Chain A
Amino acid sequence: MSNEHTRIEGETIDERLLVKRANRQDLRFAVIGLCVLIVAMVALLALIADFMLDGVPRINFDFFVNYPSRKPEQAGILSAWVGSTLVMLTTAALAVPIGVAAGVYLEEYARKNWITDIIEINVTNLAGVPSIIYGLLALGLFVQTLRLGQTILVAGLTLALLILPIIIVTTREALRSIPLEIREAAFGLGADRWQAVWMYLLPAARPGILTGTIVGMSRAIGETAPIITIGALTFIAFLPPAPIQLEFPFVNFQWLNSPFTVMPIQMFNWISRPQVGFHVAAAATGVILLAMTLLMNGLAIYIRYRIRRGMK
């Protein structure tokens, strides 16, 4: 029996007891963890299920191709989903290049001194600023000072501002987590900074940047407060001009200057109506919004998976 124990200067260590104690501790934590997880999941699932029960039966083809209406049974979300899609496009087109470029600059180019430290602190803090503040900023700057109007462009600019910090921070995080060896290998070959960043660092950081982008976009698609603040309309019975046309130059940016509504605003509007029919329509809109977010996340996971597989 004494063989089973190790003695360290008078103190005996019973290894089997240590293992037994560790296993008991692991079990205890696993059970608690599982319980907590179940509580959280059940609450979430109940919420979604309630939503779905109300909303899903209302979803049909007409719901997607009808404009909002005074009659709940005829109301649809055509202008809302088109608006949301266009706003998201604008947001992504503005926020991703600027955000990634800012992240790359701060991480790879900027000298590390107190100015960049201050910028870093500010960027990180901006990610936590309430979205209504961005709405107020946009109202003051874009709508009133620059007189851009209550348009898709302004909504895109506002949401891009909102999610820029998220993209910058995740880009930096992704660049920082690249193994030092890759950086050294690139510079060791004699690559200049631009080549190192474009050929090796950014590709390696892509999964992280993509995650940040999707997190940001998922946040943007559900934002209501800043959009309301800049004065998005709640009742729109027309579509913005089509972005693609048959005549030269085939693309048309008129839609950027068009008034719009988005899905969360449509929901908000319907929820505040007294008729039960509109509440059902709001639930249905919620389900579709949820599905859109899920789709975006799914797409990100798929792309990330493809990138990872390609790298191996």
Chain B
Amino acid sequence: MDALTIEKAVAAPVDEPLRASVIDLSFHYGEKQALFDVNFPIHDRKVTALIGPSGCGKSTLLRAFNRMHDLYPGNRYQGEVILYPEQINIVSPAVDPMLVRLKIGMVFQKPNPFPKSIYENVAAGLWVRGIRKKSLVDDRVEFALTQAALWDEVKDRMRSSAYGLSGGQQQRLCIARALAPAPEMLLLDEPTSALDPIATARIEELIMELAPTVKIMIVTHNMQQAARISNYTAFMHLGRMVEFDVTTNIFTSPKERKTQDYITGRFG
């Protein structure tokens, strides 16, 4: 915890490397516009949290990073999300959604393991990428499960069904599944909303451990969680980005009136 606090205190150098930047991103569900000209940077190896009242578009924004909206007809992106260092615009129709998803992993709100064994779940991402070598897959599965702080609990029952795990374990399994192919970015969509406080604490711990060493992530969740685990926070309201700043600034000295109202609990 201390290390994180210190890191936050010294955070926010302007020349920090960027992982992605969102430029004038708008999004439509059919006729209904859900995002309006959103702009913000995503810093490398930092946790960026999206917060805001329900329906503000934070999940919509997060899912755009994985092109999840492409699965349903009538959805439309405008603007750019540039992924560095390749400098590809991941919401461009010219970019294959599959390419984006191979680079950016996602963990969903509800744990959604496949109805298969624990091992098969974690190995799934590797198999999808054509990695079949047994020794390599075994190593990556163990590594990902260790990263997801699940290895000790499941190492003796790798062949049993993932459905036998508790909710919190299932969610960590899903995180391991996303981590196994070493994605360039990891998206977490309210990963603890379906979990109890103890399981939530474990996952928050896990996110903080992963951020500096492994990958970059975005978390959308409640304010307290954002304050606890993120380096940067974006506050959204009615599909617009109201404020983006270092997390401590957002929570101690927000510039916008709306942000202050929200974090002090006056609405939302």
Which residues of A line the B interface, CB within 8 A?
3-4, 6-11, 13, 15-16, 18-19, 22-23
If A3-B86, A8-B136 touch, whether A18 touches B181 (CB-CB below 8 Å) is no
Q: Is the CB of A19 within 8 A of B182?
A: no
- In the assembled complex, the Cα of A13 lies from the Cα of B183 at a distance in Å of 11
CB contact between B136 and one of A6, A11, A15, A16 (< 8 Å): that residue: A11
B103 touching A6 by the CB < 8 A rule? yes
In the assembled complex, the CB of B249 is this many whole angstroms from the nearest CB of chain A, namely 32
**Is B10 in the interface zone, CB < 8 Å from A?**
no
Given contacts A6-B102, A15-B103, 12 further A-B contacts (CB under 8 A): A6-B182, A6-B184, A8-B136, A8-B140, A8-B182, A9-B136, A11-B131, A13-B181, A18-B102, A18-B129, A19-B98, A23-B96
A252 to B221, CA, bound (A): 68
Taken together as a complex, chains A and B put the C-alpha atoms of A253 and B86 apart, in Å, by 79
* Interchain CA distance A72-B158 in the complex, whole Å: 75
- For B129, give the chain A residue with the smallest CB separation: A13
- Nearest chain A residue, comparing its CB with the CB of B180: A8
Q: How far is the CB of B44 from chain A (nearest CB, A)?
A: 13
Give the chain B neighbours of A16 by CB distance below 8 A. Answer: 99
Give Cα distance in the complex from A83 to B203, angstroms.
69
CB distance from A20 to the nearest CB of B (A): 9
CB distance from A281 to the nearest CB of B (A): 47
Q: Which B residues lie at the A interface, using CB under 8 A?
A: 85-86, 96, 98-99, 102-103, 126, 129-131, 133, 136, 139-140, 181-182, 184
Contact of B99 among A3, A8, A15 (CB under 8 A): A15
Complex Cα gap A4–B99 (Å): 11
Q: Which residues of B contact A18 (CB under 8 A)?
A: 98, 102, 129-130
| A/B interface sample: 13 pairs, CB < 8 A | A3-B86, A4-B86, A6-B103, A6-B182, A6-B184, A8-B136, A8-B140, A11-B133, A13-B129, A13-B131, A13-B181, A18-B102, A19-B98
Decide: A15 and B140 in contact? CB cutoff 8 A.
no
CB-based closest 10 A-B pairs: A15-B102, A19-B99, A19-B96, A19-B98, A3-B85, A13-B129, A8-B182, A15-B99, A3-B86, A22-B98
- Residues of A within 8 Å of B96, CB to CB, are 19, 23
**CA gap between A6 and B85 in the complex, in Å:** 12
Cα-based distance from A13 to B129 in the complex (angstroms): 7
User: Which residues of chain B are near A7, meaning CB under 8 Å?
Assistant: 182
Task: Report the Cα distance A6→B183, complex, angstroms.
Answer: 8
Docked CA distance A79–B182 (Å): 73
Please tell me if the beta carbons of A19 and B131 are within 8 angstroms of each other in the complex: no
- Residue in B closest to A10 when the chains form the complex, CB atoms: B136
Once the chains are docked, how many angstroms separate the CA of A180 from the CA of B96? 36
Q: Which residues of B contact A8 (CB under 8 A)?
A: 126, 131, 136, 140, 181-182
Chain B residues whose CB sits within 8 angstroms of the CB of A11 once the complex forms: 131, 133, 136
Closest to A23 in B: B96
Inter-subunit contact B86/A9 (CB<8 Å): no
Q: Which residue of B lies closest to A22 (CB)?
A: B98
**Are the CB atoms of A6 and B181 closer together than 8 Å?**
yes
A46 to chain B, nearest CB (A): 33
Establish whether residues A9 and B139, one from each chain, have CB atoms under 8 Å apart when the complex forms: yes
CA distance A235 to B102 in the complex (A): 70
Which chain A residues lie closer than 8 Å to B140 at the CB level?
8-9
Asked whether B130 lies within 8 Å of A13 as measured between CB atoms, the reply is: yes
Contacts of A10 in B (CB 8 A): 136
Closest residue of B by beta carbon distance from A4: B86
Within 8 Å CB of B102, what residues of A? 6, 13, 15, 18-19
Contacts of B85 in A (CB 8 A): 3
Q: Which residues of B contact A9 (CB under 8 A)?
A: 136, 139-140
Q: B123: shortest Cβ distance to chain A, in Å? A: 12
Minimal Cβ-Cβ distance residue in A for B103: A15
List chain B residues, Cβ under 8 A from A15.
99, 102-103
B102, chain A: closest CB distance, angstroms: 4
Distance of A118 from chain B, by nearest CB (Å): 27
Residues on B with C-beta less than 8 A from A22 are 98
CA distance A8 to B182 in the complex (A): 7
- Shortest A23–chain B CB gap in Å is 7
